[in-house]
DNA sequence: GACCAGGCACATC
DNA sequence: GATGTGCATGGT
């Protein structure tokens, strides 16, 4: 498929999603740090469960870099039970906090000033931060030009015949980033819309394509 | 009760 | 290097 053709398809799907669902206002959070914590907590987990954990941290005045940095892993785990996988996520959050203070003294601003490619490599070196979590942090917390791929993204574009089902994360990411206009707000909205479509319609593991708003796309 | 959710690391072959 | 498995709560 030529680059222009791919670009047309990606744009058309975006327009359909946007006209159907409108602005998604991602990421739902009050601070950049909250986005980072949410990105780790939401791994393979329903967002509603993550929100409960985040609110629990807020209620206990723990959703701040220094507080989380000092909070013992076991205690942290108890506050995030509702997010599921709470032991492993406590470990991952603490791993990130260690990295965050060692390299950036707990400052989001300092971290955000780092070159995107280099920071992405750094984030991926933290145990518990994989490609999607790293990219979510880069795009939604730090406003970097990075396209976030997730299970929904692969499902929608494979079911509509644009990619193979088991296409590698970075191949899918490259497809988007090389074909589309390099626009942070567009990347932000597009991923959010894909998730929205997934939640509401045809991207469940068992397809419900008969009601998918993109059906005529095929 | 089965299935699923805004993944990731690690074991084993 | 591919494939399988553990991690876990809460909604449908």
Domains and CATH numbers, chain A: 3-24+147-217 (1.10.1670.10), 32-141 (1.10.340.30)
Distance A127 CA to B9 C1' (A): 8
CA distances A136 to A35, A83, A129, A164, Å, are 8, 18, 10, 23
Q: What is the pLDDT of residue A215?
A: 65
For the beta carbon of residue A36, count every other beta carbon within 10 angstroms: 28
Whether nucleic acid strand B comes within 7 Å of the CB of A153, the answer is: no
Whether nucleic acid strand B comes within 7 Å of the CB of A198, the answer is: yes
Nearest to A141 by CA among A37, A58, A7: A37
Whether nucleic acid strand B comes within 7 Å of the CB of A195, the answer is: yes
Query: What does the H/E/C string look like for A157-200?
Result: HHHCCCCCCCCCHHHHHHHHHHHCCCCHHHHHHHHHHHHHHHHH
pTM for the full predicted model: 0.94
Tens-digit pLDDT string for chain A (218 aa) = 777 888 898 999 999 999 999 999 999 999 999 999 999 999 999 999 999 999 999 999 999 999 999 999 999 999 999 999 999 999 999 999 999 999 999 999 999 999 999 999 999 999 999 999 999 999 999 999 999 999 989 988 888 888 988 899 999 999 999 999 999 999 999 999 999 998 887 555 555 555 566 765 44
Coil/strand/helix, residue A72: coil
Nucleotides of C under 7 A from a protein CB: 6-11
Whether nucleic acid strand C comes within 7 Å of the CB of A81, the answer is: yes
Q: What is the pLDDT of residue A217?
A: 44
| Nucleotide nearest A38, from its CA to each C1' | B6
- Residue appearing with tokens 């880069």: A138
Whether nucleic acid strand C comes within 7 Å of the CB of A32, the answer is: no
For residue A125, what are its two tokens?
């070196």
Nearest to A134 by CA among A120, A115, A154: A120
Alpha-carbon distance of A181 to A106, in angstroms, equals 33
Residues 86-105 of A with CB under 7 A from strand C: 86-89
Cβ-contact A155, A203 below 8 angstroms:
yes
Prior bond of A73 cis (ω within 30°): no
The region that residue A2 occupies, defined by phi over 0 for left and psi between -120 and 50 for alpha, beta otherwise, is beta
| Nucleotide nearest A29, from its CA to each C1' | B6
Nucleotides of B under 7 A from a protein CB: 3-10
Q: What is the pLDDT of residue A218?
A: 40
């Amino acid at each position: 498929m030529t680059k222009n053709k791919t670009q047309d398809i990606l744009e058309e799907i975006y327009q359909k999603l946007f006209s159907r669902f409108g602005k998604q206002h991602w990421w739902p959070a009050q601070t950049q740090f909250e986005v980072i914590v949410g990105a780790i907590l939401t791994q393979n987990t329903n967002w509603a469960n993550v929100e409960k954990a985040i609110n629990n941290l807020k209620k206990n005045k723990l959703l701040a870099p220094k507080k989380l940095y000092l909070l013992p892993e076991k205690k942290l785990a108890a506050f995030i039970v509702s997010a599921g996988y709470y032991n492993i996520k406590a470990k991952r959050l603490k791993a990130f906090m260690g990295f965050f203070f060692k390299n950036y003294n707990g400052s989001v601003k300092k971290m955000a000033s780092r070159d995107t490619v280099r920071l992405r490599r750094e984030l991926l070196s933290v145990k518990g931060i994989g490609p999607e979590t790293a990219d979510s942090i880069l795009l939604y917390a730090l406003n970097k030009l990075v396209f976030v791929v997730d299970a929904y993204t692969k499902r929608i574009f494979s079911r509509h015949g644009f990619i193979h089902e088991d296409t590698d994360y970075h191949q899918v990411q490259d497809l988007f980033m090389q074909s589309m206009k390099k626009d942070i707000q567009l990347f932000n909205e597009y991923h959010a819309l894909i998730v929205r479509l997934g939640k509401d319609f045809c991207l469940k593991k068992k397809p419900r394509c008969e009601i998918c708003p993109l059906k005529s796309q095929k």
